[in-house]
Amino acid sequence: MRMVDLITKKQAGNALIEQEIYFIINGFTDGSIPDYQMSAFAMAVYFVGMTEEEAGFLTMAMAESGDQIDLSAIDGIKVDKHSTGGVGDTTTLVLAPLVASCDVPVAKMSGRGLGHTGGTVDKFEAIKGFQYELSTEDFIDTVNKHKVAVVGQSGNLTPADKKLYALRDVTGTVQSIPLIASSIMSKKIAAGADAIVLDVKVGDGAFMKTVEEAEQLARTMVRIGNHVNRKTLAVISNMNQPLGWAVGNALEVQEAVETLRGQGPDDLTELCYELGARMLVAAEKVATVEEGKALLADKIASGAALEKFREFIESQGGDASFVDDTSLLPQAAYQIPVPATADGVISDWVANEVGEAAMWLGAGRATKEDEIDPAVGLMLHAKVGDAVNKGDNIVTIYSNREDVDDVIAKIQAAVTISDSAQAQPLIYETIDQA
């Protein structure tokens, strides 16, 4: 088998068989297939696409290219939730303990943030003492004992995907639906999930800018999941404005506590109920989404969800005293208001600009080497549809530098104040059968 023959076969629009795809991925991982040939193959896929079967083979080949986590020692159906990334996306902080409080195991591997999107591991690092590096044995033991654990991704999980992503990044082949879908799904499968609930974000703060693109990606991932015998469904949710009020690591931990108390932002709470209920259905804990939402609401109302959050933080070495007093979380030196520049109604919040403003403060990374400041970020006080007067405080900047004129200007440029605003749905659709 020669790589050049497989490149030309794909260029011609023909489907590759399982052995051919494994030959490509194994060869690229071990270095016997050079970057320039893999670049040509990625470009061929970019232009001619892949069949559902090919994307399934590619997913499994990448999932099997490194370590695979065996979660069979954990009782019950293990359901993983994955978000395609957004701004102020605090869902994992809420969902992990909330779903676990319903006696469903949540064994989650999470990554760091880059650019305007926040990473779950960075948010947990705002909690004093929290250990996200656990051995596989400790990870499994913790989930069996407490029903929940969140850890950072293993260094040798899907090495083929890491190599291929780095190559796609510099060869103009990132925006390929089969390559994006197989990248995401390979990581979820290698991490041991039995069932996968996908939160596919759409809008200017997301990877997918249109509902049509998001729907295509969601359907492809659901097809791949079902093809490789993992129950998979996708929720397409709005990321045209930040989710919730908080953007920044300690601020989002605080918002998670408020949400688990039943006092969180409406949009974050609604999305957590939607995703959480579908996780409960996938785990066969409840029969319907409505039943799932009712159970989640009961766990919040009774205080069981917040208690599970406290137990979860302590089980991974964290100091959970902030659950009762959020002022114990890292605090920024300065709180600076951002005034509205006109009277009217907020009609647009450019989410990725808000995310970049938080990154400039130190809440995110421009490069992988950047250090995160857990205390800094933004707290929004008005969202799309809210009426404001000129001079009203629409955002509070939490900063450890006094001069934030650049951030104020960026935030004011990111918000549009008009005579009226068009209502936008939080959830566009759910795809469980592709």
Which H or E run contains 314? helix 304-315
- Predicted confidence (pLDDT) per residue in 130-163, tens digit: 998 888 899 999 999 999 999 887 778 899 998 9
pLDDT recorded at residue 114: 53
Q: Please state the domain extents for the chain.
A: 3-63, 79-323, 331-418
Q: Which of 101, 182, 183, 315 is catalytic?
A: 183
Among this protein's residues, is 187 annotated catalytic? Answer: yes
pLDDT higher than 80, residue 187: yes
Q: Under 8 Å CB-to-CB from 313, ≥6 apart: which residues?
A: 127, 130, 319, 320, 323
The answer to whether residue 146 is catalytic is no
Sheet holding 377-380, edge to edge: 246-247, 377-380, 393-399, 334-339
Q: What is the model's pLDDT at position 3?
A: 98
Backbone angles phi, psi at 143, to 5 degrees: -65, -40
What is the C-alpha separation between 346 and 419, in angstroms, rounded?
8
* Bridge partners (DSSP) listed for residue 398: 335, 377
pLDDT of 115: 53
Q: What is residue 113's predicted lDDT score, i.e. its pLDDT?
A: 57
* Mean pLDDT value of segment 8-18: 98
Report pLDDT digits (tens) over 414-426. 999 999 999 899 9
**Close Cβ partners of 83 (under 8 Å, ≥ 6 residues apart):** 89, 91, 92, 198, 199, 201
Q: Is the model's pLDDT at 183 over the cut of 70?
A: yes
Classify residue 221 as left (phi > 0), alpha (psi -120 to 50) or beta. Answer: alpha
Q: Catalytic annotation on 168?
A: yes
Read off the pLDDT of residues 109-139 as tens digits, 9 standing for 90 and up: 876 655 555 578 888 989 999 998 888 899 9
Which residues, including other chains, have CB under 8 Å from residue 135's CB and lie 6 or more apart? none
Alpha carbon 173 to its chain's center? 21
Say how far apart CA 178 and CA 430 lie, in whole Å: 20
- CATH fold of the domain at 331-418: Aldehyde Oxidoreductase; domain 3 (3.90.1170)
CATH topology of domain 3-63: 1.20.970
Average pLDDT value for residue range 397-409: 97
Q: Which of 10, 78, 81, 82 is catalytic?
A: 82
Alpha helices in 229-265 (DSSP H): 249-260
Backbone angles phi, psi at 417, to 5 degrees: -110, 120
- What the block records as the tokens of 80 is 């993983």
DSSP assignments along 95-118, one per residue? HHHHHHTTT--EEEEE---BTTB-
Indicate the average pLDDT of the chain: 93
Question: Which letter does DSSP use for residue 322 in this model?
Answer: G
Catalytic residue among 10, 146, 147, 168: 168
**The one catalytic residue among 80, 89, 161, 267:** 161
pLDDT at 432 over 90: no
- 67 has catalytic annotation: no
Q: Tokens 């200017």 sit at which residue?
A: 204
The fraction of the chain above a pLDDT of 90, given in percent, is 82
Q: Convert the pLDDT of each residue in 45-90 to its tens digit.
A: 999 999 989 999 999 999 999 999 999 999 999 999 999 887 878 8
User: 304-315 and 249-260 helices cross at what angle (nearest 10)?
Assistant: 140
Nearest to 114 by CA among 370, 349, 354: 370
| Beta carbons within 8 Å of 409's beta carbon, 6+ residues apart | none
pTM beyond 0.95:
no
CB atoms within 10 A of CB 422: 9
pLDDT at 220: 94
- Given the DSSP bridges, would you call strands 195-202 and 231-238 parallel, antiparallel or unpaired? parallel
Q: Is 230 a catalytic residue?
A: no
- The span from the CA of 57 to the CA of 271, in Å, is 32
DSSP state of 132: -
β pairing state of 344-349 and 387-388: antiparallel
∠ CA 93-203-393, rounded to 5°: 70
In CATH, the architecture of 79-323 is 3-Layer(aba) Sandwich (3.40)
Q: Which of 10, 187, 201, 410 is catalytic?
A: 187
**Which pairing describes strands 334-339 and 195-202: parallel, antiparallel, or unpaired?**
unpaired
Beta carbons of 181 and 216 less than 8 angstroms apart: no
User: Alpha-carbon distance 258 to 98, whole Å?
Assistant: 13
Contact of 60 with 189, CB cutoff 8 Å: yes
